A and B are shown apart, each in its own frame.
Chain A
């Protein structure tokens, strides 16, 4: 009984922290129709402002809290004004990608300033605990509960009883109609970003105190939890976001009590997928249909692709093939790495660009391929080259099956669902000890071997990967110009129309994911044999984001673009070695610049 109360208190406290995040996401989604992937970064920034105030400046608590609110709120306003507002009227995916870019930049800046090491963030409150029916509740618990309830009450008063609050509600329902009532919707947007970011920052500071630890990597998880909570309550639904957060906090807490900590996120993401499938408008709305998202076609920026003539292509491949004659091992290893990312980008550019399902969990496919090939080679003693091929097939089947529930979703919902699926893959790998060896990972993976001859030196490996990439790229190009390719593009442009013309949309999407999964699975498998060691974090969400950046840099759907993008993004930071440390910052800046300057990518969308 006592421990039950402890877990309940813990669930409610964590739920309140999520609520502070989710409420902001809901407000932003309401007025700007945008999932703010930079939200977790503001939470991190808030935590670090709190850390600077408390441990460096030794400010009293009543100064620290306003400093956190103003600092993170102000940053939110700046983000909206400088990075998002100029994107009004462009494609729907542009602001979403911009927030991803912003989060990369902010997280890396925090890391550069404060180092990646965790910091202790002590609570300034006296550490009293009160006994409640066998369990106990501490001062910090009460503070967090109080802040959560207080913020919710203030927000309620603001939305109900102030003019600006009315403007926020009206804008969330119909932005054009609100404008025609004389509402300055730009100001509404600024206000909402200010409130959301301030609450997010406060949440970060409090979570830091709760665990007495903060680090620059905490942002991604925070964004995800906020999004999950928001989806449980219904996108854009503010009271729903609070209820969803409390529910999520409690489920996690009881889940940890029953199964252990490593399962924590698994509950969140399985719940997310379940809700997206069964009640896409959240637990509190009966409607089965998600609110209309624009056609995927306008979700992605369009532009005329630049065609590289055939002799040019042959020339490029020839130069790439001759590279080992002049380049040293380091360059070739970088080249191999770029080619492997190219393989992933080819796969992503197919599903995101050609079919229009912008996946944020593509690294999950690499993980499946890598584990499949490693285990086949180690446990079943299958020759490496065959294991790689089989891993491609396993990834094609498993990847398609996993993403299948997202086939009927659109726009934002696809991105969230795939993000969650990618996380689920990593978490299953972490927890399925008997198969995957859990957190220990798999070591001693045999090297690439062809016909019994291991490829130990860099040129051979490079040639092998180059051959695989060239082959798959040619095959993909073939398919894109066939009937199948045209059907895929038709689905992307208007899947409702395609459905009503009797096209079996699910089957075509499955074909795309199968082909894409095959390529990515091969990529993951080859990587595993090159690394000889993998674990559940080898293929993390950052890789998914990088793959998307590469695909966008090259031009969505564009095959040569995917390869060019990966040569530029993976290759260049290695060539200029000093840049490697700033890698994520570079990716973020590239993403932000591209969206502004050349949203269709370097070679144009196809």
Chain B
């Protein structure tokens, strides 16, 4: 069976500085896969490479059997990938409602968009009463919810999330992770970057550990959570 998303021997660079060294990983349909790793290990760069915000110098990214590396970002999004960017990146001067509708930018079926809006609002009831509020004035946790709901509005097959729990209070972290699990149960494949390994591995099926641009470990979430190397390095060991 071929994977929904696959990176094959990707090498990416910022100018002369190499970030990824023959990075290969894959995400199967229906999975939650998390990419773990310390600061500056190249996690966000992986996301940018998948989304076409930067191009790998060698290697390729395939989505649903088609090569997407080299395509402009908007074509990749149209191919069925949604994004929850690092630090959320909401349109701060737009209302929550407008942000959610921007998430459906690639769609032309306005009736279905409206019913999807209702659907995500039942999933994120907190946003219901904030619809007319400017997104920039929301709390961090609420903004995270808007970012996730916005990504869902495009009906993607895969959502890439870069540190969805960053900067949230522990209670909100649980809420967000639970929501991710719910979105996944409803049929969307999730590829997420996390520093918070112990929590991420609770909801993920599989995981990869990135170390200075190379995969250091990979495996089922449960096995990784039990791995002493992970435990030392990421589960409360090295401070994030």
- A joins B in a complex: yes
CB nearest to A187 among chain B residues:
B74
* B85-111 with Cβ < 8 A to chain A: 85, 89-94, 98, 101-103, 105-106
Please pick, from A170, A176, A179, A180, the residue contacting B94 in the complex, using a CB distance under 8 A. A170
Tell me if A183 counts as interface (CB < 8 A to partner B).
yes
Query: Given A169-B91, A173-B92, A174-B91 in contact, is the A185-B85 Cβ separation under 8 Å?
Result: no
What sequence of 0s and 1s flags, for each residue 49-80 of chain B, a beta carbon within 8 Å of any chain A beta carbon?
00101000000000000000000111001100
Tell me if B83 counts as interface (CB < 8 A to partner A).
yes
Tell me if A177 counts as interface (CB < 8 A to partner B).
yes
Q: Are A176 and B105 neighbours in the complex by a CB distance under 8 Å? A: no
Q: Return A384 CB to nearest CB of chain B, in Å.
A: 53
Please pick, from A167, A174, A180, the residue contacting B77 in the complex, using a CB distance under 8 A. A180
Tell me if A113 counts as interface (CB < 8 A to partner B).
no
Q: Are B90 and A181 neighbours in the complex by a CB distance under 8 Å? A: no
Question: Given the complex of chains A and B, what is the CA–CA distance between A183 and B52 in angstroms?
Answer: 13
Q: Which residues of the other chain, B, contact A167 by a CB distance below 8 angstroms? A: 105
Tell me if A166 counts as interface (CB < 8 A to partner B).
yes
Q: Return B163 CB to nearest CB of chain A, in Å.
A: 15
Q: Are A173 and B51 neighbours in the complex by a CB distance under 8 Å? A: no
Tell me if B141 counts as interface (CB < 8 A to partner A).
no
Q: Which residues of the other chain, B, contact A506 by a CB distance below 8 angstroms? A: none
Question: Given the complex of chains A and B, what is the CA–CA distance between A185 and B77 in angstroms?
Answer: 13
Tell me if B37 counts as interface (CB < 8 A to partner A).
no
Q: Which residues of the other chain, A, contact B42 by a CB distance below 8 angstroms? A: none
Tell me which of A163, A176, A179, A184 has the highest count of chain B C-beta atoms within 10 A of its own C-beta: A179
Q: Which residues of the other chain, B, contact A315 by a CB distance below 8 angstroms? A: none
Q: Which residues of the other chain, A, contact B91 by a CB distance below 8 angstroms? A: 169-170, 173-174, 177-178
What sequence of 0s and 1s flags, for each residue 167-210 of chain A, a beta carbon within 8 Å of any chain B beta carbon?
10110011011111111111000000000000000000000000
Q: Return B192 CB to nearest CB of chain A, in Å.
A: 15
Question: Given the complex of chains A and B, what is the CA–CA distance between A251 and B228 in angstroms?
Answer: 73
Question: Given the complex of chains A and B, what is the CA–CA distance between A178 and B94 in angstroms?
Answer: 12
Q: Return B80 CB to nearest CB of chain A, in Å.
A: 10
CB nearest to A167 among chain B residues:
B105
* B131-184 with Cβ < 8 A to chain A: 150, 154
Q: Which residues of the other chain, B, contact A174 by a CB distance below 8 angstroms? A: 89, 91-92
Q: Are B102 and A166 neighbours in the complex by a CB distance under 8 Å? A: yes
Q: Return B75 CB to nearest CB of chain A, in Å.
A: 8
Question: Given the complex of chains A and B, what is the CA–CA distance between A186 and B101 in angstroms?
Answer: 21
Q: Are A180 and B106 neighbours in the complex by a CB distance under 8 Å? A: no
Question: Given the complex of chains A and B, what is the CA–CA distance between A470 and B193 in angstroms?
Answer: 59
Q: Are A181 and B102 neighbours in the complex by a CB distance under 8 Å? A: yes
Q: Are A185 and B89 neighbours in the complex by a CB distance under 8 Å? A: no
Q: Which residues of the other chain, A, contact B72 by a CB distance below 8 angstroms? A: 179, 184, 186
Question: Given the complex of chains A and B, what is the CA–CA distance between A181 and B98 in angstroms?
Answer: 12
Q: Are A181 and B105 neighbours in the complex by a CB distance under 8 Å? A: yes
Question: Given the complex of chains A and B, what is the CA–CA distance between A180 and B98 in angstroms?
Answer: 15
Q: Which residues of the other chain, B, contact A169 by a CB distance below 8 angstroms? A: 91, 93-94
Q: Are B94 and A177 neighbours in the complex by a CB distance under 8 Å? A: no
CB nearest to B150 among chain A residues:
A181
Q: Which residues of the other chain, B, contact A163 by a CB distance below 8 angstroms? A: 105
Q: Are B154 and A181 neighbours in the complex by a CB distance under 8 Å? A: yes
Q: Are A182 and B85 neighbours in the complex by a CB distance under 8 Å? A: no
Q: Return B171 CB to nearest CB of chain A, in Å.
A: 27
* A202-230 with Cβ < 8 A to chain B: none
Q: Which residues of the other chain, B, contact A185 by a CB distance below 8 angstroms? A: 74
Q: Are A181 and B94 neighbours in the complex by a CB distance under 8 Å? A: no
Q: Are B106 and A177 neighbours in the complex by a CB distance under 8 Å? A: no
Q: Return B146 CB to nearest CB of chain A, in Å.
A: 12
Q: Return B195 CB to nearest CB of chain A, in Å.
A: 21
Please pick, from A173, A183, A186, the residue contacting B105 in the complex, using a CB distance under 8 A. A183
Q: Which residues of the other chain, B, contact A176 by a CB distance below 8 angstroms? A: 53, 85, 89
What sequence of 0s and 1s flags, for each residue 480-518 of chain A, a beta carbon within 8 Å of any chain B beta carbon?
000000000000000000000000000000000000000
Q: Which residues of the other chain, A, contact B103 by a CB distance below 8 angstroms? A: 181
Q: Which residues of the other chain, B, contact A186 by a CB distance below 8 angstroms? A: 72
CB nearest to A177 among chain B residues:
B89
Q: Return A7 CB to nearest CB of chain B, in Å.
A: 36
Query: Given A170-B94, A170-B102, A173-B94 in contact, is the A184-B89 Cβ separation under 8 Å?
Result: no
Q: Which residues of the other chain, A, contact B85 by a CB distance below 8 angstroms? A: 176-177, 180
Q: Return B5 CB to nearest CB of chain A, in Å.
A: 16
Q: Return A24 CB to nearest CB of chain B, in Å.
A: 20
Q: Return B152 CB to nearest CB of chain A, in Å.
A: 12
Please pick, from B53, B93, B98, B101, the residue contacting A179 in the complex, using a CB distance under 8 A. B53
Question: Given the complex of chains A and B, what is the CA–CA distance between A174 and B99 in angstroms?
Answer: 12
Q: Return B193 CB to nearest CB of chain A, in Å.
A: 14
CB nearest to A169 among chain B residues:
B94
Query: Given A166-B102, A173-B93 in contact, is the A184-B74 Cβ separation under 8 Å?
Result: yes
Q: Are A179 and B102 neighbours in the complex by a CB distance under 8 Å? A: no
Q: Return A172 CB to nearest CB of chain B, in Å.
A: 9
Question: Given the complex of chains A and B, what is the CA–CA distance between A254 and B83 in angstroms?
Answer: 53
Question: Given the complex of chains A and B, what is the CA–CA distance between A416 and B103 in angstroms?
Answer: 37
Q: Return B236 CB to nearest CB of chain A, in Å.
A: 32
Question: Given the complex of chains A and B, what is the CA–CA distance between A170 and B72 in angstroms?
Answer: 17
Tell me which of B74, B98, B150 has the highest count of chain A C-beta atoms within 10 A of its own C-beta: B74
Tell me which of B77, B89, B91, B103 has the highest count of chain A C-beta atoms within 10 A of its own C-beta: B91
Query: Given A163-B105, A166-B102 in contact, is the A179-B90 Cβ separation under 8 Å?
Result: no
Q: Return B81 CB to nearest CB of chain A, in Å.
A: 9
Question: Given the complex of chains A and B, what is the CA–CA distance between A176 and B83 in angstroms?
Answer: 11
CB nearest to B156 among chain A residues:
A182
Question: Given the complex of chains A and B, what is the CA–CA distance between A178 and B92 in angstroms?
Answer: 12
Tell me which of B51, B77, B105 has the highest count of chain A C-beta atoms within 10 A of its own C-beta: B105
Question: Given the complex of chains A and B, what is the CA–CA distance between A308 and B77 in angstroms?
Answer: 51
Q: Return A304 CB to nearest CB of chain B, in Å.
A: 13
CB nearest to A185 among chain B residues:
B74
Question: Given the complex of chains A and B, what is the CA–CA distance between A180 and B161 in angstroms?
Answer: 12
Q: Return A220 CB to nearest CB of chain B, in Å.
A: 33
Please pick, from A166, A170, A173, A180, the residue contacting B73 in the complex, using a CB distance under 8 A. A180
* A139-179 with Cβ < 8 A to chain B: 163, 166-167, 169-170, 173-174, 176-179
CB nearest to B53 among chain A residues:
A176
Query: Given A174-B89, A176-B85, A177-B89 in contact, is the A182-B74 Cβ separation under 8 Å?
Result: yes
CB nearest to B73 among chain A residues:
A179
Q: Are A182 and B94 neighbours in the complex by a CB distance under 8 Å? A: no
Q: Are A179 and B74 neighbours in the complex by a CB distance under 8 Å? A: yes
CB nearest to A174 among chain B residues:
B89
Question: Given the complex of chains A and B, what is the CA–CA distance between A531 and B77 in angstroms?
Answer: 64
Q: Which residues of the other chain, A, contact B53 by a CB distance below 8 angstroms? A: 176, 179-180
Q: Which residues of the other chain, B, contact A184 by a CB distance below 8 angstroms? A: 72, 74
Query: Given A166-B102, A182-B106 in contact, is the A177-B90 Cβ separation under 8 Å?
Result: yes
Q: Return A297 CB to nearest CB of chain B, in Å.
A: 14
Question: Given the complex of chains A and B, what is the CA–CA distance between A183 and B89 in angstroms?
Answer: 15
CB nearest to B108 among chain A residues:
A163
Starting from the known contacts A166-B98, A173-B93, 5 additional A-B residue pairs (CB-CB under 8 Å) come to A169-B93, A170-B102, A170-B105, A182-B105, A184-B72
Chain A to chain B contacts (Cβ below 8 Å), 28 pairs: A166-B98, A166-B105, A167-B105, A169-B91, A170-B91, A170-B94, A173-B94, A174-B91, A176-B53, A176-B85, A176-B89, A177-B85, A179-B51, A179-B73, A179-B77, A180-B53, A180-B73, A180-B83, A180-B85, A181-B77, A181-B103, A182-B74, A182-B78, A182-B154, A183-B74, A183-B105, A184-B72, A184-B74
